[in-house]
Amino acid sequence: MKKACIIGGSGFIGSYNTRKFLSEGYKVKVSVTDISKKEKYEHLQRFQNAEDLEIVQLNVENKSELVEFVQGCDIIIHGGTPFQLDVKDPQAELFDPTIRGTVNFLEVVQKTPGIEKVVFIASVATYNTNFPLNPENKSEDDKFNEDDGPFMSEQSHPYGQAKFIANQTVSKFVADNPNLSFEITSVSPVGVMGKSLSTRQDSTSTGLQFLFKNKIAPNPFIEMLYNNNVYFAVVDVADVSEAIYKAAITKNIHGKNYLLSSESYRVSDVTLMLNNQPPIGKPKIFYSNELVKKDLGVNFKPAMLPLNGYSM
């Protein structure tokens, strides 16, 4: 049996990844930040084939722990960087774990034999740090794909900036090391929506759905989304997991970074669908998903399905 090692495999997207690889017959090693907090990962142990699951503690900023974690891994999914909207110390909470963790990880895997594929779960912010707003050179009637130049603004949310810089670090590593023994592929999902596989209350992704469903504005950023009724690009968490799995098993896609997106609706319509009501407006396709459909054969569900599937 091959082994898939998933950094951040108990989170919102990570749980779907863990379930997917177990169902496909892999041994799976999952990292958690604190092994004593069983409530954050015990749901993984109820998955089918959980006898092939190993859960270990890992600090992604600790290089020696990373060295131990990647031993024996055929595939590594790196999704262990934090997604936070409310940030008190961007450097400590976002930039250090996201960027330094990526640098450490790349140094470690480069020296580790046996690895076949590394998949980074990046973010639409690697292409547009202004998300969910459009890049400054695009209108809501335009379309954005992987060939468009990435947009980065220092006025964007720190999370977006951190993910952008981390992805630039990965791209530079790929360019500087043309003879790697393994492939690196990235995926960049938009707003990931759907049903959580755990009962955790601290997930930012499911928390965002809770805010939109109940029209709660805990900070100026969310209030701005309501006030401007912006288009919000949505993708189903299960489709993201499928794309990650396909990226992990597909060869000759080294260095690519795939946008993962379904439809964009105005926030007011997102609220309606989260409350199982039909949208008033029509969807747009701002972020193209043509490349991932072509290369990986992934088809994306309409936004209504994951939004209707959310429950809390």
pLDDT for position 87: 67
The reply to whether 221 falls in a domain is: no
Read off the pLDDT band of 61 (50, 70, 90). confident
Read off the pLDDT band of 53 (50, 70, 90). very high
The reply to whether 76 falls in a domain is: yes
Read off the pLDDT band of 214 (50, 70, 90). very high
Distance CA 72, CA 6 (A): 13
The reply to whether 223 falls in a domain is: no
Distance CA 68, CA 72 (A): 9
Beta bridge partners of 222: none
Whether pLDDT at 92 is above 80: no
Read off the pLDDT band of 96 (50, 70, 90). confident
HSE, side-chain direction, 13 A CA sphere, residue 220: 2
Task: Give which of 83, 108, 77, 119 is closest to 98, Cα–Cα.
Answer: 83
The reply to whether 174 falls in a domain is: yes
The reply to whether 210 falls in a domain is: no
pLDDT for position 307: 96
The reply to whether 310 falls in a domain is: no
The reply to whether 307 falls in a domain is: no
The CATH number that applies at residue 110 is 3.40.50.720
Q: Residues with Cβ < 8 Å from 111, sequence gap 6 or more? A: none
Beta bridge partners of 189: 260
Per-residue pLDDT of 261-293, as tens digits, reads 999 999 999 999 999 999 999 999 999 999 999
pLDDT for position 98: 79
Per-residue pLDDT of 130-188, as tens digits, reads 999 999 889 989 999 999 989 999 888 888 888 899 999 999 999 999 999 999 999 99
The reply to whether 201 falls in a domain is: no
Range of the domain at 291: 3-193+235-261+285-300
For 30-56, what is the mean pLDDT? 96
Give, in order, the Cα–Cα distances in Å from 307 to each of 50, 94, 283, 288, 289: 28, 27, 14, 20, 19
pTM across the whole model: 0.94
Domain count, the chain: 1
